[in-house]
């Protein structure tokens, strides 16, 4: 089997997102608030900022639109939107794809839509808005779920099984995974069998035959087919096209991202056909949202045995496996119990106790002696290299179970699950773990959003002055993540310095990405920071934040504090070159001539 390259690249991303992005506690809390009719509470529990104002919609759009919006908000499962939200390729952390606008529903010129964070390292919060979107923008069309309510609406969530296979989930017989199905064409009326057959053909590099099995003639180019032609869930695409059949020459564009090729599917006198299209050949062809044609991450993970039904979001599991037990376990829990370490020619037990690795096979005197020898650079038994590997070294120096545990702890923190981190610390796990970027858990404090955890980590020996490989302190890292004001305050109260810069000469002001900037900025300025300091690229904080897609709040706060809007490019140039669509308030600022 030869899976399409984007799928090979994204499988670990999807798997980690399923394990860490939607913890069980989040689902339980969000579900309880939703079922109680508390829309704001459900969104807050799922780390979604509710910015759709129902009262304002009633005033400006009328009672009918407001009633439709209210019904949709009541049935919105924000934790389910987090489950299905697009993920960032190129990393295997499963974080949200940045700067995406996901349309959930349309109301004439307006939409209910989600926005993902501005950057991949930002706090993993989304925001929910109501208002106009540029639906001529191909990326807005690409990420539309308006025709795929099963991805967010609890009323439609049971329909996921019909989307994927009808009466039976492809590659499954009840709860039993079939694996590779029989090598025979599917009956035309068996949707699940058609999905199995076409996916098998696509996996075997037989794209033309797969498309033909779905009734679409794929015309190959002179060179190799783009990956887009292999990411298609062909039964779904065919159903979508049949529903859209309004005329003999209708055409749609399959374009998953700007890094992948385009495929035009059109309906003509001879039926449906598809061809590979160069960029210049598609200006007027409407983009078909990926939710209406692309292969399902959950089905891919299930058929390859990379996730079990118990690891599916409860609404997804209920749709795909209605007879499965109601038991949501997002992934294997990392084992914090005792392990065995090969030390010379024998195996020694090791375990966690009060935040330190306990080596019961070695007495305290031996441990002190070997640690002193290690500090001098002398070779020591393997047992004594583990603690150093956990705290400072590469993951490859650790036993496999400790590598898994370390990754579990770091990803639990990076996805904003403070309860999960607390559980591991309560089991005695050493919090002084070092991530791949050289940072410690304090560098992830913005994601955890729990000031009392900062106090606990510092009491355990972590320092607010440690730097990661970018030269950032925990304060700098949390500012860049967009940390909430209480987290920043806790770090400042713990002695975090503001007079240090990262390797790129960025000051804390250059890194201020928090929506709470109005509160945080005075704290930073009170320490003597310069509003016009320059980073390695010669940018002041104001212009760096514009170019680095910081939220509007810190940009507005800097201007209100007196930042010079003429200390670099013109604001108009900075907004245009960074492709910002959320800074119109800068364009309406009065010029010096207008105010003189």
Domain ranges of the chain: 5-155, 205-295, 333-436, 498-596
For residue 287, pLDDT over 50 is answered with: yes
What's the confidence (pLDDT) of residue 590? 60
Distance separating alpha carbons of residues 406 and 408, to the nearest angstrom: 5
Q: Which CATH code fits 498-596?
A: 1.25.40.20
Longest dimension (CA), the chain: 86
Report the chain's terminal Cα–Cα distance, integer Å. Answer: 71
Residues 474-501 pLDDT 10s: 999 999 999 999 999 999 999 999 999 9
Band (pLDDT 50/70/90 cuts) for residue 396 is low
The count of C-alpha atoms lying within 13 angstroms of the C-alpha of 131, restricted to the half-sphere facing its C-beta, is: 11
More confident residue, 522 or 595: 522
Lowest mean pLDDT across 106-115, 259-268, 463-472: 259-268
DSSP H helices, 274-375, are: 297-303, 314-320, 364-375
Q: In what order do the strands lie in the sheet with 346-353?
A: 339-343, 346-353, 356-358
pLDDT band at 349 (very low <50, low <70, confident <90, very high): confident
What SS3 state is found at 179? coil
Residue 594 reports pLDDT greater than 60: no
- The pLDDT assigned to 246 comes to 60
Among 267-281, 514-528, 557-571, name the one with the lowest average pLDDT. 267-281
Which range among 128-132, 255-259, 436-440 has the greatest average pLDDT? 128-132
Q: Which of 15-24, 34-43, 326-335 has the lowest mean pLDDT?
A: 326-335
pLDDT in tens, 231-243: 899 999 999 999 8
> Mean pLDDT lowest for which of 5-14, 463-472, 544-553, 562-571?
5-14
Residue 595 reports pLDDT greater than 50: no
Tens of pLDDT, residues 147-189: 999 999 999 999 999 999 988 999 999 999 986 776 777 777 8
Average pLDDT over the chain reads: 88
HSE-CB at 169 with a 13 A cutoff on CA atoms is 27
Looking at residue 3, what is its pLDDT?
55
Distance from C-alpha of 359 to C-alpha of 350, rounded to nearest angstrom: 5
Segment 113-147, tens digit of pLDDT: 999 999 999 999 999 999 998 766 667 888 999 99
From CA 48, how far away is CA 264, in angstroms rounded? 35
Q: Is the dihedral of CA 250, 255, 258, 260 positive or negative?
A: negative
Q: What value does the mean pLDDT take over residues 384-413?
A: 79
Token pair of 301 as six digits:
């993970």
Residue 458 CA, chain-centre distance (Å), reads 28
Which three-class secondary structure state does DSSP give residue 132? strand
pLDDT value for 217: 96
In the chain, pLDDT over 90 holds for what percent of residues?
Answer: 62
Question: What integer pLDDT is reported at residue 358 of this predicted model?
Answer: 72
Task: Give 521's strand partners.
Answer: none
Q: How far is CA 561 from CA 127, 304, 480, 516, 591, in A?
A: 26, 55, 19, 14, 17
As a whole number of angstroms, the distance between CA 37 and CA 46 comes to 15
> What pLDDT shows up at residue 491?
98
Cβ proximity of 309 and 330 under 8 Å: no
**Under a CB-based contact definition with an 8 Å cutoff, are residues 491 and 478 in contact?**
yes
- Dihedral sign for Cα 407, 410, 416, 421, please: positive
Q: Which long-range contacts (CB under 8 A, 24 or more apart) does 492-501 make?
A: 492/523, 494/454, 494/455, 494/458, 494/464, 495/464, 495/465, 496/464, 496/465, 497/464, 497/465, 497/473, 498/524, 498/527, 498/528, 498/529, 499/527, 499/528, 499/529, 500/473, 500/476, 501/471
Give 383 or 124, the one with higher predicted confidence: 124
Evaluate if residue 593 carries a pLDDT over 50: no
For 133, 257, 273, 422, the CA distances from 276, given in Å and listed in that order, are: 28, 15, 11, 51
Residue 1 has pLDDT above 70, yes or no: no
- How many angstroms separate the CA atoms of 353 and 428, rounded? 5
Contact 541, 510 (CB under 8 A): yes
Q: Of 148, 43, 60, 156, which is closest to residue 106 (Cα–Cα)?
A: 148
Checking if the pLDDT of 333 tops 70, the result is no
Residue 218 pairs with which residues in a beta bridge? 274
Distance from C-alpha of 214 to C-alpha of 162, rounded to nearest angstrom: 17
Residues 508-515 have a mean pLDDT of 97
Between strands 176-177 and 216-219, the pairing is: unpaired
Helices vs. strands in the chain: H and E counts, helices first: 27, 13
156's CB contacts (< 8 A; 6+ apart) are: 149, 150
Q: E strands, 374-485, where? A: none
Handedness of CA 229, 233, 234, 240 (dihedral sign): negative
Tokens of 151: 């991805």
Please indicate whether residue 588 or residue 576 has the higher confidence score (pLDDT). Answer: 576
Task: Output DSSP code: residue 89.
Answer: T
Q: Check residue 438 and report its DSSP letter.
A: S
pTM above 0.75, yes or no: yes
Q: Which two tokens stand for residue 336?
A: 């914090």
Q: What confidence score (pLDDT) does residue 270 get? A: 87
């Amino acid at each position: 089997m030869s899976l399409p390259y984007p799928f090979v690249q994204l499988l670990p991303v999807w798997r980690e997102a399923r394990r860490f992005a939607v913890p069980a506690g989040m689902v339980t809390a969000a579900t309880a608030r939703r079922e109680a009719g508390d829309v704001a509470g459900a969104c807050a529990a799922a780390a979604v900022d509710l910015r759709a104002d129902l009262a304002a919609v009633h005033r400006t759009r009328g009672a009918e639109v407001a009633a439709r919006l209210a019904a949709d908000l009541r049935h919105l499962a924000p934790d389910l939107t987090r489950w299905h939200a697009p993920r960032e390729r190129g990393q295997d952390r499963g974080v949200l794809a940045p700067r995406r606008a996901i349309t959930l529903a349309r109301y004439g010129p307006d939409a209910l839509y989600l926005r993902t964070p501005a950057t991949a390292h930002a706090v993993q919060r989304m925001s929910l808005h109501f208002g106009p979107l540029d639906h001529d923008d191909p990326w807005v069309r690409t990420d539309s779920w308006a025709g795929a309510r099963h991805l967010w609406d609890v009323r439609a969530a049971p329909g996921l099984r019909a989307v994927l296979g009808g009466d039976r989930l492809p590659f499954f017989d009840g709860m039993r995974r079939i694996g590779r199905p029989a090598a025979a064409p599917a009956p035309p009326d068996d949707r699940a069998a058609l999905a199995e057959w076409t996916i098998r053909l696509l996996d075997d590099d037989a794209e033309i035959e797969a498309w033909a099995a779905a009734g679409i003639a794929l015309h190959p180019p002179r060179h190799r087919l783009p990956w887009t032609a292999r990411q298609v869930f062909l039964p779904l695409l065919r159903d979508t096209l049949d529903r859209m059949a309004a005329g003999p020459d209708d055409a749609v564009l399959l374009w998953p991202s700007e890094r992948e090729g385009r495929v035009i599917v059109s309906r003509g006198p001879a039926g449906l056909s598809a061809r590979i299209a160069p960029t210049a050949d598609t200006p007027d062809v409407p983009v078909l949202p990926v939710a209406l044609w692309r292969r399902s991450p959950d089905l891919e993970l299930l058929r390859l045995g990379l996730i079990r039904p118990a690891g599916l979001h409860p609404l997804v599991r209920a749709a795909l496996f209605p007879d499965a037990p109601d038991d949501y376990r997002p992934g294997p829990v990392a084992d914090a119990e005792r392990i065995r370490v090969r030390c010379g020619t024998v195996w020694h037990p090791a375990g966690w106790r009060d935040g330190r690795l306990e080596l019961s096979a070695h007495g305290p005197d031996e441990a002190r002696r070997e640690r002193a020898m290690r500090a001098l650079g002398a070779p020591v038994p393997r047992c004594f290299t583990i603690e150093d590997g956990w705290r400072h070294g590469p993951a490859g120096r650790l036993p496999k179970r400790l590598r898994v545990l370390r990754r579990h702890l770091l990803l639990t923190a990076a996805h904003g699950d403070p309860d999960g981190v607390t559980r591991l610390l309560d089991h005695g796990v050493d919090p002084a773990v070092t991530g791949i970027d050289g940072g410690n858990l304090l560098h992830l404090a913005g994601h955890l959003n729990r000031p009392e955890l900062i106090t606990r980590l510092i009491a355990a020996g972590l320092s607010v002055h440690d730097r990661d490989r970018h030269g950032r302190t925990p304060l700098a890292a949390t500012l860049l993540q967009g940390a909430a004001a209480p987290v920043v305050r806790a770090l400042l109260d713990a002695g975090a310095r503001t007079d240090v810069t990262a390797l790129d000469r960025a000051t804390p002001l250059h890194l201020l990405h928090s929506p709470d900037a109005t509160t945080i900025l005075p704290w930073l300025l009170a320490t003597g920071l310069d509003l016009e300091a320059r980073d390695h690229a010669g940018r002041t904080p104001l212009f760096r934040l514009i170019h680095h897609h910081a939220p509007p709040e810190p940009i507005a706060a800097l201007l209100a504090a007196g930042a010079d809007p003429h200390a670099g490019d013109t604001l108009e140039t900075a907004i245009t070159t960074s492709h910002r669509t959320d800074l119109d308030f800068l364009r309406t600022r009065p010029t010096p001539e207008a105010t003189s």
